[in-house]
Structure 1
Amino acid sequence: MLKEKKYFLFDIDGTLSVGTTLYDGTKEFLDWIEETGGRCFYITNNSTKSRKDYVEKFAAWGITTEEAQFMTASYAACLYMKEHYEGKKVFVLGTPSFLEELRSHNVQVTEEAEDDVVCVLAGFDDTLRYEKLIKACELLFREGIDFLGTNPDLRCPAPFGFIPDCGAICRMIQDTTGKRPYFIGKPNRVIVDLCASQCKGTPEEFLVVGDRLYTDIACGINAGFETAVVYTGEADEEEVRTSIWKPDYCFDTIRDLYEAVRTEMEEGRR
């Protein structure tokens, strides 16, 4: 079935790269997909960067992209907040880049516990300060304040291992306030649907690739697409055996996936 794939939806952190370092085989794979008439999309729950930021990050790796190829949890949050909270004030626990992206979609954001706030939106915030958490909790102890998170990931890959992600931040707030957040990003299928809407392909032509079962793989399954996991991030063979989220394909690295796809396609042409 890999020989039928044309549209590849890649997670980034732990799948294609870690920090500022690309994994071996990533650039070759991405270039090969585009050269053979395919299309790459990047579906990340990392809400610290805007789509513009990612275009610049990939350019530093020598990879040319455009904003439409990136479906981030922050972008999905912008669309969701615009649809459901337009004209209402939202307290945001997030990076300056995330706040800027929300404002560009005409979302009224604040970092203060103001009286007219109707919602608390938490993202993966590497600028997190304790006073931000205090303000978020103060708001959520009020009646009628909604609680949303960009993504449920508990940890994010780092060069030395992992760091707390949005899900871990939200869990801390939930344990304090008793309020459970609604998550906008993966495994919510909306991010995959936004990519698929740009193509005219059949479901068999799509492959969702990631390193985390409960977000990346679950998102692809929820959207009805085949999935592939790589063991360079959070998931490992034992987790695949015990998880309810079963990928269609498993590979040690992104290079291994690249070699498998290329081999099947080349054999199919003979």
Structure 2
Amino acid sequence: MLNEKKLFLLDIDGTVCKGTQLLDGVKSFLEDTKSNGGKCLFITNNATKSVTDYKKLFRQMGLEVEEEDFVTTAVVTAEYLHRHHENETIFVLGTDSFIQELEEKGITVTQDPDNISITCVVVSYDNQLTYQKLENTCKVLTMRDVDYIATNPDLVCPNEFGYIPDCGSICEMIGHAVQRKPRYMGKPDTAIVKFAMKKAGMIKAQALLVGDRLYTDIACGNRAGIDTALVLTGEATKEDVEHSSYRPTYLIDSIAALHREWKTS
């Protein structure tokens, strides 16, 4: 039942906002959740922004949030790199903010494809993408026997006018050139949900994952064994649900509608 939920794991793009546009009902939902002893954590596959960037963006949209309210794929990626490539050199295709966040977490980063110390390639969504970056990444993956990971499999990212290519599309391009696919760190991999639940100190029965994509958000919740709510403010439609193997626990128009259902359940 919705009224038993105390931890809301909220996707950001297409669920909470589109670009810099806050979606209707989000602010009141966050305030009501907090006043009733619940907690909202924002979990996102978007690695272009650091948790500091997200705090600034959300506050500009009128939301009272702190850095600890965000769990990004940059956080999960850094954990993977510390486990499997401690004190090694990592080649990264990504934004300056993503690279800075990895470096702040103690990761040694290079963008030089000729660096002989590279043991792993990391690809992320990059709104500063150039053809030279693609060529350099392909060079490392072709010439070296290195680990290959990426932040998230999302093919597109919603914004104010529609959609733009996301990390999954960048990896598709690279894959056609080098015949390799990465291991993805973000949703639908369950690591980000497990990290968030441990951070909040709550159990599966108390959690609800809310998102707009079947193949990342809902798939992640299904794999993690927690309830999910698909909102129709982003990518997925009702018709998509009918043809998908990923089944949300709840199909809801928006965060505003979720708020109403939660209060009356």
TM range (shorter): over 0.9
> Does 212-221 or 61-70 show the bigger shift?
61-70
Give the drift of 1:143: 3.6
Give the drift of 1:119: 1.4
What SS class does the counterpart of residue 239 from structure 1 fall into?
A: helix
> Does 192-201 or 96-105 show the bigger shift?
192-201
Give the Cα–Cα distance (whole angstroms) in 2 for the partners of residues 201 and 183 of structure 1.
25
Q: Which amino acid aligns with 2:223?
A: N
Q: Which amino acid aligns with 1:43?
A: I
Give the Cα–Cα distance (whole angstroms) in 2 for the partners of residues 146 and 134 of structure 1.
18
Q: Which amino acid aligns with 1:66?
A: E
Give the drift of 1:67: 2.0
Superposition TM-score, scaled by structure 2 size: 0.97
Give the drift of 1:186: 0.6
Give the Cα–Cα distance (whole angstroms) in 1 for the partners of residues 21 and 12 of structure 2.
11
Whether the 8 Å contact between 1:229 and 1:247 is mirrored in structure 2 is yes
1:12 aligns with 12
Give the Cα–Cα distance (whole angstroms) in 1 for the partners of residues 38 and 57 of structure 2.
22
Q: Which amino acid aligns with 2:190?
A: R
What do the CA deviations read for 1:173-204 (whole angstroms, capped 9, x no partner)?
A: 01110011000111111111111112343322
Give the Cα–Cα distance (whole angstroms) in 1 for the partners of residues 62 and 237 of structure 2.
30
Give the drift of 1:94: 0.4
Give the drift of 1:249: 0.3
> Alpha carbons of 1:103 and 1:200: their partners in 2 closer, same or farther (altered >3 Å)?
closer
**Matches for 1:1-270 after TM superposition, within 5 Å:** 1-113=1-113, 114-264=115-265
Whether the 8 Å contact between 1:69 and 1:195 is mirrored in structure 2 is no
Stretches of structure 1 lacking an aligned partner (at least 5 in a row): 265-270
Give the Cα–Cα distance (whole angstroms) in 2 for the partners of residues 17 and 216 of structure 1.
15
Q: Which amino acid aligns with 1:123?
A: S
Superposition TM-score, scaled by structure 1 size: 0.95
> Alpha carbons of 1:108 and 1:5: their partners in 2 closer, same or farther (altered >3 Å)?
same
RMSD: 1.0
Give the Cα–Cα distance (whole angstroms) in 1 for the partners of residues 61 and 31 of structure 2.
12
What SS class does the counterpart of residue 198 from structure 1 fall into?
A: helix
1:267 aligns with none
Give the Cα–Cα distance (whole angstroms) in 1 for the partners of residues 38 and 127 of structure 2.
34
Give the drift of 1:7: 0.5
Give the drift of 1:124: 0.7
Give the drift of 1:205: 1.2
1:268 aligns with none
Identical aligned residues as a percent: 44
Whether the 8 Å contact between 2:52 and 2:67 is mirrored in structure 1 is yes
Whether the 8 Å contact between 1:50 and 1:75 is mirrored in structure 2 is no
Give the drift of 1:57: 1.3
What do the CA deviations read for 1:11-40 (whole angstroms, capped 9, x no partner)?
A: 000001000000010111111101111000
What SS class does the counterpart of residue 143 from structure 2 fall into?
A: coil
Whether the 8 Å contact between 1:86 and 1:106 is mirrored in structure 2 is no
Give the drift of 1:66: 2.0
Give the Cα–Cα distance (whole angstroms) in 2 for the partners of residues 186 and 172 of structure 1.
20
Give the drift of 1:151: 0.3
Q: Which amino acid aligns with 2:182?
A: P
What do the CA deviations read for 1:77-107 (whole angstroms, capped 9, x no partner)?
A: 1111122111111110000000001101111
What do the CA deviations read for 1:130-159 (whole angstroms, capped 9, x no partner)?
A: 100000000010241221100000000011
Whether the 8 Å contact between 2:211 and 2:229 is mirrored in structure 1 is yes
What SS class does the counterpart of residue 75 from structure 1 fall into?
A: helix
